[in-house]
């Protein structure tokens, strides 16, 4: 599979295609200055990104849309060049809520369509506009739902998901890897006792060999396996750095060495919701 900075789309089974690297736009709304996301998306598009990953939950889709529309107006890209992935949050899983929620995303983006719309997490909360509903005692308000769709998969050298990857390849399913760098250390939803991925000795030694960072090696590893990556960053230099993964390739032996790093360690455990009847990781513990 030939991938370059200019063209790095991989085919989907329905005849469409998806850019193999995207910009993640997750942020804590209360902690992120206004305009940060818009600036980052514009920098990403100027750098060469054509895949933007967002969600209504992030409360910044209006900034994402603003940036995309500005770059279209400049003539930098056309709408069909951009692949936007939006997400359905856990309080809107009821079938009758899906279309209105998608339409709200389109209104915020001020775009005619999204390229992909997925379920953010495979658990439902009490339906409504409150993102994280709790009762008067601070207990989570869950909701039973019937999930008939799939969702993204965490995937990185410490959690390589070989069985899932093989199954998906056999059935022409493309994996989108969230947390591809394993860098978030938010204790509310991340297992912070897990070893920091980017400090791994092998990844750093390969980085020195290719004059790359450990993060670039990690991203190259996944795209070389045909896995789409969506590293999140609002740092201009990191956004550009994460995209510079098309000018080198890992050898078969190096790919195998990285695969052998697998510890079946999942960083994103969402343990605050482990008592949910639909909690997806019970069989891992």
| Residues recognised as catalytic | 58
Q: Where are the beta strands (DSSP E) in 12-147?
A: 17-19, 23-24, 51-53, 83-88, 116-119, 124-125, 142-143
Joined tokens for residue 189: 């939803």
Contact 65, 108 (CB under 8 A): yes
Q: Residue 251: exposed, middle, or buried by beta-carbon count in 10 A (0-12, 13-18, 19+)? A: exposed
Contact 241, 247 (CB under 8 A): no
State whether residue 207 is helix, strand or coil. Answer: helix
Helices 236-243 and 36-47: angle between axes, nearest 10 degrees: 30
Distance CA(279)–CA(255), nearest Å, equals 32
Place of tokens 């493309």: 174
């Amino acid at each position: 599979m030939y991938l370059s900075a200019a063209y790095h789309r991989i085919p989907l089974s329905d005849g469409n295609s998806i850019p193999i690297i995207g910009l993640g736009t997750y942020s804590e709304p209360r902690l992120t200055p206004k305009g940060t996301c818009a600036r980052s998306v514009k920098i990403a598009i100027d750098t060469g990104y054509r895949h933007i990953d967002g969600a209504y939950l992030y409360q910044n889709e209006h900034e994402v849309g603003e940036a995309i529309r500005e770059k279209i107006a400049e003539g930098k890209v056309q709408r069909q060049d951009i692949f936007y992935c939006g997400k359905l949050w856990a309080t809107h899983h009821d079938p009758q809520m899906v279309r209105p929620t998608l339409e709200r995303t389109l209104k915020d983006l001020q775009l005619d369509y999204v390229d992909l719309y997925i379920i953010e997490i495979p658990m439902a909360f009490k339906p409504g506009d409150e993102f994280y509903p709790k009762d008067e005692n601070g207990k989570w308000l869950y909701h039973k739902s019937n999930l008939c769709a799939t969702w993204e998969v965490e995937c990185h050298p410490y959690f390589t998901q070989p069985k899932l990857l093989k199954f998906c390849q056999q059935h022409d399913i493309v994996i989108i890897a969230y947390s591809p760098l394993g860098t978030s250390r938010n204790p509310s939803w991340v297992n912070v006792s897990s070893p920091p991925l980017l400090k791994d000795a092998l990844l750093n030694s390969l980085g020195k060999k290719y004059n790359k960072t450990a993060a670039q090696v990690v991203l190259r590893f996944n795209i070389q396996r045909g896995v789409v990556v969506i590293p999140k960053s609002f740092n201009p230099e990191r956004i550009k750095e994460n995209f510079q993964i098309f000018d080198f390739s890992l050898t078969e032996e190096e790919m195998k060495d990285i695969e052998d790093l697998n510890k079946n360690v999942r960083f994103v455990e969402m343990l605050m919701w482990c008592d949910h009847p639909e909690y997806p990781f019970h069989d891992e513990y």
